Amino acid sequence: MHVTLRQLAVFEAVARNGSFTRAAEELHLSQPAVSMQVKQLEENLGLPLFEQMGKKIYLTEAGRELESYAVRVSQLLDEAEAVLEEMKGVKRGSLNISVATTANYFATRLLAAFSQRNEGVTFSLDVTNRETLIRQLENNERDLVIMGKPPDGHDLDAESFMDNPLVVVAPPEHPLTRKKGIPLSALAGERIVVREAGSGTRIAIERFFAERGIEFAMGMEMSSNEAIKQAVEAGLGLGIASIHTLELELDCGRLAILDVEDFPILRHWYIVQRRGKRLSATAQAFKDFVLAEAPRFVRLPEQYRQSSR
């Protein structure tokens, strides 16, 4: 069988994306170059691998068979690369990580601190939502992921390294900012601006209220923490957000934390990898660094540092 690794990699990307165009984007190739590689592979094998129905492409039976081999070959190559990199040591490695939207408020500081100590290391950082993070881990696309507690039932190893408290925020002129020990029931009359479905923060908020049998009035739904903070400042409702997103607004007095019963919601940050994945020396060094030192590089709002002492 005459097949090149390049052809297999291109085929695997088309199969996984279900699209020649998306595979071309991912591989930084032109679409005709991708089609050509797949065509040559089909000719070499003497079997069609995809069939087109309308605008969609589907794997043929031969395509499905080949896909499982292509995935294994690509995983083995990744592993070989990691092992060889380990021989080079941390100095010249590359690190491929993804972080949850909220974790990006401190992830870049971690990367900066780590790269100061390991100058030759290069990074690729993806900031995305929880659903995508889990898919990336399952597909073995990233070395490490920083996120809230991953769900059970996936082959993942997760270690917690830092608290992630979620607090209720309001504009400073809101009457509740003057109250202490606000009962949860008082939130029932307020609109709460929340993150999009699929966000870890949103899942935690919904679980928190459901466990206490309290219905909360969901205000607008926003897909970024920045948008939530702007909305709360503009008076569109109260917000619930991770303390890690609030440093600037709390320090400048543009938002205030409310003293609500049972808050903060206590969550934690985890560093996660696919179970059984052999980490490169660089990835292992970064993981050790995060587990040992992350909180030192995270800036919390002044007010929160004082109140949590």
| Binding stretches for ligand PGA (CB under 6 A) | 100-102, 129-130, 147-148, 195, 199-201, 267
CA gap 97, 173 in Å, rounded: 40
Q: Give residue 111's identity as a one-letter amino acid code.
A: L
Tokens of 112: 């900066």
Report yes or no: 240 and 194 within 8 Å, Cβ to Cβ. Answer: yes
Q: Give residue 237's identity as a one-letter amino acid code.
A: G
Which of 96/101 has CB closer to ligand PGA?
101
CB of 203 to ligand PGA, least distance (A): 7
Tokens of 269: 């940050």
DSSP tag of 252: T
Which of 195/277 has CB closer to ligand PGA?
195
Which of 160/303 has CB closer to ligand PGA?
160
Which of 100/192 has CB closer to ligand PGA?
100
CB of 111 to ligand PGA, least distance (A): 17
CB of 22 to ligand PGA, least distance (A): 23
CB of 49 to ligand PGA, least distance (A): 36
Report yes or no: 258 and 170 within 8 Å, Cβ to Cβ. Answer: yes
CB of 38 to ligand PGA, least distance (A): 35
Report yes or no: 100 and 148 within 8 Å, Cβ to Cβ. Answer: yes
CA gap 254, 258 in Å, rounded: 13
3-state secondary structure of 19: coil
CB of 140 to ligand PGA, least distance (A): 21
CB of 273 to ligand PGA, least distance (A): 16
CA angle 299, 195, 210 (to 5 degrees): 105
Q: Which residue is nearest to ligand PGA (CB)?
A: 200
CB of 212 to ligand PGA, least distance (A): 19
Residue 219, φ and ψ in degrees, nearest 5: -85, -140
Which of 145/281 has CB closer to ligand PGA?
145
Which of 195/229 has CB closer to ligand PGA?
195
Closest to 258 in 3D by CA, of 181, 164, 158: 181
Q: At what angle do helices 20-27 and 5-17 cross, to 10 degrees?
A: 120
Which of 20/209 has CB closer to ligand PGA?
209
CA gap 146, 161 in Å, rounded: 10
Q: CB within 8 A of 178, min separation 6: which ones?
A: none
Which of 24/204 has CB closer to ligand PGA?
204
Closest to 93 in 3D by CA, of 235, 282, 271: 282
